[in-house]
Structure 1
Amino acid sequence: MMAIENGPRLLVHQQRFGVATPSLGHFEQFIAVLFLDFLVRFQPCHRNEHDILFVPRHWPRESPVSHNAFSQSAEQKEKRGGMVEGPTLTKGLPADLEGEPCPPQLVRWLATLNNDLLSILETIAEEGEGVWLVGGCVRDAWLGAPSTDVDLCTTSTPDRLLTLFGDRAIPTGVDFGTVTVKGNDGHFEITTLRTESLYRDGRRPEQVNWGASLSEDLSRRDFTFNSMAVDVARQLLYDPYNGLSDLRGRTVRAVGDAGLRCEEDALRILRAYRFMRRDDGPLWALEPTLHAAILEHRGRLNMVAIERRWMELQKIVSASRPGEVLDRMQNDGVLRFVFTDLTVLNPVLFHLIDQPAFAPMDLNQRLAILMCEHATKDAVAQLQALRTSKELQRSMAMFHEQLGFLPEPRKAAIRVFNHVMGSAAEHHLAAHETMADHSVNLHTGLETNLQDIIAVKRLWNQIERPMEAQPCLVDGHWIMARTGAVEGMRLGRLKQWLHRIQIEEGLTTLTEMEAALSKLPYEHGDFEAWPTPSFP
């Protein structure tokens, strides 16, 4: 039952109840009530008014209606109950395979498509061409997962797309049929339906021909849940390989011949492992024939550009709880084709990296943990072999070479630790706490003692942590004016010594700095032995 009243709206559906002034949330609740019987869309009209557009599932799809159910103006309230014709998308060329009505999850998703995308669909369909949403966006919509990319496929050729969209079109991959169209809120990749020749190099087809068959286009894709397409205008789902069934069954299954799919592009092997981790539940299953094909063709990964292999590994390591996936990859003899220099990693680390303490860690820190038993220079060499960015190599090395070291359980030492480590300080302590009492042989040869870590963390939690590293309050000219020192290494080291004292004692004024300087025996001694603001 649902009731709608004037003034503050009252929504009652089963046992859900809410009272509030009109809001977007009400529109979404209204849709949730209706979607089983209607194909529904809501869209803004003007000012604070919204139209709710819906097509009863048993009515002709060509006759949508619009009902101003939640208008906030008096004029619209008087008209509430009136039925007017609503806008519809032009139906383009139909697909060459049978579709089915979109399930509720996809209906809700279609109701949220933005105007940029709808405009692109309309432009192509008005030309008499077929156009469909395809691949990962359909998969993620059914799963309720966020999707950053919405891909389209069409019977329109790349040249025609470039003409249709003019300055908005970017020829990103026209040789393979892909044109990117710029919108107000993002870019959309549109790929022409195509047929392909053999993949002799294990990376790309030797020849691509434009086609008009959605069925054939879907047949060349990697996995069943990526071979689904949606006709937005007709609200139809095309799922010739039962991708929805595999989503429900949490199964990664190849489209057609699994061996052929792996031969065509061996990167699909790494993609298969990536799709095994879709949530925090158990790993998705590799369908047996796909698993057998992976074991048979894993050597073909050497034919794939190392940059492409790294892109997949990066996604795997960055995802939630990657350890179990990496463990499967190592057991199946696949990981060594990505970690080409460090061919064996400690399985204990795979278990540890799935612990909650590692969830907020950045990619560089996770990589450092995975390679923590290898020397820093070897870990950096592995990232260089993967052709990662210099910044990733630098940040990984910094975190990596500090593993095994803890600050002394003194507030002064912990302040310096915070200054050097910055936002990584918490992750450094969490990593050591998690690794304590496990069979991990850190490259530094140091052992982590749980009681020492607890003592440091207790003090660390008591100390106020600045949002960013604090620069030295004084410069060389200030020091020279008060000490008579001359420019040179001795002056530089004296400044570093003062900076460390500033951090250790939390000094904030020049008066405090001058008092600290007066206590230092800077006129004598080996300046190279003076303290610096460093860790360890």
Structure 2
Amino acid sequence: MKTFPLEIALKPSVQFLYDRFRAAGYELYIVGGFVRDRLLNRPGGDIDFATSARPAEMIRLFERVVRTGIKYGTCTILIGTDSYEVTTYRTEGRYEDRRRPSKVDFGTDLLADLERRDFTINAFAYDIARGEVIDAFLGQEDLHSKCIRTIGNAEDRFNEDALRMMRAARLVGELNFSLDIECLLGMKACAKQLSQVSAERLRDELSKLLLSDHPVAGLRALEKGTLLSYLLPELVKTQGVMQNAFHAHDVYEHTLAVVDAVAKYKRTLATKDILKNNITLLLAALLHDIGKPQTRKEGELEGQVSFLNHEQEGAKMSQVILKRLKFSKRDIETVVLLVREHMIYNTSKWSDGGVRRWLNRVGIENKDRLIALVRADRVGRGVTERMTEVAREKENADLEHFERRIDDLIASQTAFKISDLKIGGTELMEVFSLSPSPLIGEVLQHLLEKVLEDPALNTDKKLLAEAEIFLKSKVF
């Protein structure tokens, strides 16, 4: 076991927490990722604590305690506006469901508690009084070598909790580290156990991986550990699917390049808050070409390849995949839309009415995400004899011009949806003595289509006149 000094500026509430435990005769240490991140000079997240006190004793010591996971020794202690998770030292029995130990015994030894953790870089403890890091498993060496290594035998750790394999890949993405060879071999040996992990837990880890600073590194770790075959078998099927002369990579490598481009955008586009930490954009990047293997056709000439309607097929597949992983209905709808609409070309030839109809179809709230996906898709194609730097610059210039047209049209306060029309269903029913029925929706949709083509029609008088013409054309 090693110890070494580390100065950490802590809130007064942390000191209060520590003093209360120590005054009562109990140990209290900061543990886990917070210590690791401070050693890496990364912003620290939530602070977790380990203690020799039992849950009942924590409840006795503090006025406000939430019994977060009392069966497993975890309480959340509230001090002022701050909250801290504190867990009793534990030793664990067998993991019969590959998720949680079948039996948890509370302990009195910090080192025994640290030994049950997943990776060496997550097994640090911080002695608040001494200002020292306790490194029982050479985690500091692994930080220096940028290595993810399990505590003890990798297969044992992954068989205990199969989600640890996803966590390893996520740490690769967050820290841009590499998997230790034993860790990688353990993942390969235990990959099939991933099928026994709940969809919700897989969803959460995949989301954290994609939102990390280096998601492609994390995806590569999943690939090398053969976890992708169990998590996203549809993505594995894109490997080796060659594309046309405008692409430098197969579909899989292109997909990773697009994810990488999106990850870079979300770090740099400070003015586009909607793109930051937005899981839907990253999921769309990951799934945007998922339909290509099913739609690939070869032409008569060598190298002639097409993927007609792959965006439609991909949208259907994306819905199935995201439902399987228990993403929210709202996220699924957004990703499906982005995948379905990502093929945007020749926008310089679109009329203003065409741009307005496009905005009506995709929604103003999605236009920034969709433009970012299209731009990343083009970056991900790479440079070839057919897709030269000059050609790509022209495409990007056209896309920037398209963005400016969109912004100008939005600024003009043109109607893009039915609620933007100057009249609504109530006025239609009053003026034309109509009862509530689907016909009202038909009329409003017709009026919107007219206004999308000619915004000057969006006045009460002109819309009522157009509605009268439409109603007369209907057979009652």
Q: Does 1:495 align with 2:436?
A: no
CA shift in 2, pair 1:290/1:513, >3 Å: same
What is aligned with 2:135?
A: 239
CA distance in 1, matches of 2:213, 2:5: 33
Residues 53-106 of structure 1 deviation map (CA, whole Å, 9 limit, x = unaligned) = xxxxxxxxxxxxxxxxxxxxxxxxxxxxxxxxxxxxxxxxxxxx663322xxxx
Partner of 2:201: 308
Are 1:515 and 2:475 matched, yes or no?
no
Partner secondary structure for residue 423 of structure 1:
helix
The 2-side partners of 1:437 and 1:145 are apart by: 29
What does residue 418 of structure 1 align with? 359
RMSD: 3.1
Distance in 2 (alpha carbons) for counterparts of 1:344 and 1:184: 52
2:230: which partner in 1? 337
Partner of 2:297: none
Q: Distance in 1 between matches of 2:454 and 2:18?
A: 63
Please state how far the C-alpha of 1:457 moved relative to its aligned partner: 4.2
Aligned equivalent of 1:120: 17
Unaligned runs of 5+ in 1: 1-96, 441-448, 528-536
Q: Tell whether the 8 Å contact from 2:170 to 2:209 is kept in structure 1 after alignment.
A: yes
Aligned residues: 410
SS state at 1:277 partner: helix
Pick aligned residue for 2:280 from 364, 374, 384: 364
Deviation at 1:436, TM superposition (A): 4.3
The answer as to whether partners of 2:126 and 2:134 remain within 8 angstroms in 1 is: yes
1:350-380 deviation per Cα after TM superposition (whole angstroms, max 9, x unaligned): 1211015753362123223322333333322
Which residue is 1:253 aligned to? 149
Which of 308, 317, 320 is residue 381 of structure 1 equivalent to? 320
Higher relative contact order (CA 8 A, sep 6+): 2
Q: Secondary structure at the match of 2:62?
A: helix
Distance 1:453 1:427 in 2: 16
Asked which structure has the greater CA Rg, the reply is 1
Counterparts of 2:334 and 2:465 in 1: how far apart (Å)? 37
Which SS does the other structure have where 1:351 is aligned?
Answer: helix
Encode CA deviations 1:369-418: one digit per residue, 9 max, x unaligned.
Answer: 32233333332222222222222222222323333356762223223433
Counterparts in 2 of 1:387 and 1:485: CA distance versus 1, 3 Å = closer
Distance change >3 Å, CA 121–CA 196, structure 1 → 2: same
1:430-441 superposed matches below 5 A: 430-436=372-378
Deviation at 1:349, TM superposition (A): 0.6
Give 1:526 shift.
6.2
Distance (Å, rounded) in 1 between the aligned partners of 2:90 and 2:434:
75
- Counterpart in 2 of 1:320? 213
Alpha-carbon contact 2:258-2:379 (below 8 Å) kept: no
**Residue of structure 2 aligned with 1:202, choices 80, 90, 98:** 98
Relative to the length of structure 1, the TM-score reads 0.69
Q: Do the aligned residues in 1 keep the contact of 2:447 with 2:466 (CA within 8 Å)?
A: no
| TM-score, normalising length: structure 2 | 0.77
Per the alignment, residue 350 of structure 2 pairs with 409
AA of the residue aligned to 1:430: A
**Whole-angstrom distance in 2 between the partners of 1:194 and 1:306:** 27
**Which runs of no fewer than 5 residues in structure 2 stay unpaired?**
239-251, 267-274, 292-312, 383-390
Shift of 1:276: 0.8
Indicate if the aligned counterparts of 2:51 and 2:87 stay in contact, CA closer than 8 A: yes
Instruction: Pick from 152, 155, 165 the counterpart of residue 62 of structure 2.
Output: 165
Matching residue of 1:400: 339
- Preserved contact between residue 330 and residue 344 of structure 1 (Cα < 8 Å): no
Equivalent residues of 2:443, 2:471 under 8 A apart: no
Summarize deviations over 1:300-322 as a string: whole Å, max 9, x none: 22232232222111111222341
Q: 1:301 to 1:502 in 2, by over 3 A?
A: same
Sequence identity of aligned pairs in percent?
24
Name the SS for the 1:128 alignment partner. coil
Q: How much has 1:503 moved relative to structure 2? A: 5.0
| Residues 215/480 of structure 1: CA separation in 2 closer, same or farther (3 Å cut) | closer
Q: What's the secondary structure of 1:149's corresponding residue?
A: coil
The 1:335/1:125 distance shift into structure 2, 3 A limit, reads same
Q: Name the structure where helix makes up a greater proportion of residues.
A: 2
Q: 2:79 aligns with which of 183, 198, 211?
A: 183
